[in-house]
Amino acid sequence: MSELWLDQVKWNNDGLVPAIAQDHKSGHILMVAWMNREALQLTVQEQRGIYWSRSRQKLWRKGEESGHVQQLHEIRLDCDGDVILLQVEQLGGIACHTGRASCFYSVLDGAHWIPVDPVLKEPGSIYKKSENPADE
């Protein structure tokens, strides 16, 4: 397969691009993570959300520990080529390492960020390695 489509992505100085995962049915934004070239290529190849973990400096197959795999439905690129949008089905209905459906669970209310979405599952019961609950 030609790699022109990968060359057309505008990678930042670290070789990364932000990727938004959106629920393909509800339109809810689930999370934003980063991809390097390999992560984007593998996402397409394996038809699931695969990212680059900046904190762990390695590929992160979303759901590898939790089972909360993101099955790919569509990939889009924005007009200046520097943001990726994934339409996914979020297995288990939980994208966030806090056990919530979405990472965007805090709303600005006056001068405070208020968590408004419920924890669906305790993180301790999601992750095998309790010492490293955060996916990223």
Q: Which residues bind a copy of itself (CB under 8 A)?
A: 1-5, 8, 18, 20, 22, 26-29, 31-32, 44, 74-80, 83, 85, 96-98, 100, 103-108, 110-113, 134, 136
Q: How far is the CB of 74 from a copy of itself (least distance, A)?
A: 6
Show Cβ contacts of residue 89 under 8 Å, excluding neighbours closer than 6 positions: 23, 24, 25, 70, 71, 73
**Would the annotation count 82 as a binding residue?**
yes
Residue (64 or 107) nearer to a copy of itself, CB? 107
- For β-strands 84-90 and 17-23, DSSP reports them as parallel
Q: How many CA atoms lie within 13 A of 44 on its CB side?
A: 14
Q: Which is nearer to a copy of itself, 77 or 91 (CB)?
A: 77
At 125, phi and psi to the nearest 5? -95, -5
Between 6 and 91, name the residue whose CB sits nearer to a copy of itself.
6
The binding site for Zn(2+) comprises 79, 96, 103
